[in-house]
């Protein structure tokens, strides 16, 4: 089975077609960069795959199962949402052990895993502090940890670098590459190319609800040139 299979996915908001027939087959164990300018439909695609948006047409499967199968969600999927919506009044420890238990872990296992990830991301000193006192980048790290705590097989990240400094970006890059080593599938959505061209096995360029290029970074540049999409592409790279 494919990690992700999407056929003719369409979505309308208020009469506007924001996804215009997306077709995608993603192999297991790949890192996919899903890039495109603001408003292209990246977050909508991710949210539909995760069952967070209704009213679409088309077929969406994860590991061969239709996305309505709840079991797939709890056990195998991790999600870093675009906006960090954490429980501000909780400590990182309270929040992360809560999420771990939601995913079915025992408290002690969740606590150990959360602390280990806090250590890797260099924020273990604030494990017992309230999230409301954290910087934006620290909140983003807590969200990333919450998506990894149950060891998911497939990880969806939506603009995961928000608020992160250069050193933290490097740590995230290393984490994603080590997840790939473990055979995990990663679907990385962003309007910026930062780290995407370095970690992705394949990059998909979305523009105005449609896939306009798909392939390696070099293939992508070639397609962008052929289709005169430089203006869009340059917004993403900032070159």
List the single partner that 40 binds among ligand ADP, Mg ion, none, CB under 5 to 8 Å by kind.
Answer: ligand ADP
- CA-wise closest residue to 146 among 196, 120, 110: 110
117 half-sphere exposure, CB direction, 13 A CA radius: 27
Q: Which of 38, 68, 228, 231 binds ligand ADP (CB under 6 A)?
A: 38
Stretch that binds Mg ion, among 24-32, 39-47, 107-115, 205-213 (CB under 5 A): 39-47
**For residues 9 and 52, what is the distance between their CA atoms, to the nearest angstrom?**
15
Residue 143's closest CA among 126, 161, 125?
A: 161
As a whole number of Å, the CA-based R_g of the chain is: 18
Among 41, 78, 100, 160, which residue sits at the site for ligand ADP (rule: CB under 6 A)? 41
Nearer to ligand ADP, 14 or 85 (CB): 14
43 binds Mg ion (CB under 5 A): yes
**Burial of 211 from C-beta contacts in 10 A (0-12 / 13-18 / 19+):** buried
Among 26, 32, 42, 205, which residue interacts with ligand ADP (rule: CB under 6 A)? Answer: 42
Instruction: Identify the three-state secondary structure at position 53.
Output: coil
Binding piece for ligand ADP, criterion CB under 6 A, among 12-20, 72-80, 123-131, 222-230? 12-20
The C-alpha atoms of residue 1 and residue 144 are separated, in whole angstroms, by 27
Q: Quick check: 212 binds ligand ADP (CB under 6 A)?
A: no
Q: Which of 33, 36, 100, 152 binds ligand ADP (CB under 6 A)?
A: 36
- The nearest distance, CB 36 to Mg ion, in angstroms, is 9
Measured distance CA(147)–CA(96) in Å, rounded: 10
Question: Going by DSSP bridges, is the β-strand pair 77-80/65-66 parallel, antiparallel, or unpaired?
Answer: unpaired
- Residue choice 14, 54, 181, 182 for contact with ligand ADP (CB under 6 A): 14
Please report, as ranges, the residues that interact with ligand ADP according to CB under 6 A.
13-14, 18, 36, 38-44
Residues at the contact surface with Mg ion, assessed by CB under 5 A: 38, 42-43
């Amino acid at each position: 089975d494919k990690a992700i299979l999407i056929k003719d996915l369409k979505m309308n908001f208020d009469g506007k077609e924001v996804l215009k027939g997306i077709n995608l087959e993603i192999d297991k164990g790949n890192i996919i960069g899903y890039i495109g300018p603001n408003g292209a439909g990246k977050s909508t695609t991710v949210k539909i795959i995760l069952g967070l948006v209704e009213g679409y047409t088309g077929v969406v499967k994860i590991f061969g199962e239709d996305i309505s199968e709840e079991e797939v969600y709890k056990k195998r999927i991790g999600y870093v949402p675009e906006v960090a919506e954490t429980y501000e009044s909780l400590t990182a420890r309270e929040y992360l052990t809560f999420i771990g238990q939601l995913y079915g872990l025992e408290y002690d296992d969740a606590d150990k895993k959360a602390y280990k990830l806090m250590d890797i991301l260099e924020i273990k000193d604030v494990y017992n502090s309230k999230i409301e006192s954290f910087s934006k980048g620290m909140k983003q790290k807590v969200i990333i940890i919450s998506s990894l705590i149950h060891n998911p097989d497939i990880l969806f990240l939506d603009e995961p670098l928000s608020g992160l400094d250069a050193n933290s970006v490097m740590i995230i890059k290393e984490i994603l590459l080590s997840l790939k080593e473990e055979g995990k599938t990663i679907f990385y959505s962003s309007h910026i190319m930062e780290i995407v061209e370095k970690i992705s096995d394949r990059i998909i360029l979305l523009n105005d609800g449609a896939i306009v290029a798909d392939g390696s970074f070099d293939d992508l540049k070639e397609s962008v040139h052929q289709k005169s999409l430089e203006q869009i592409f340059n917004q993403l790279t900032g070159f």
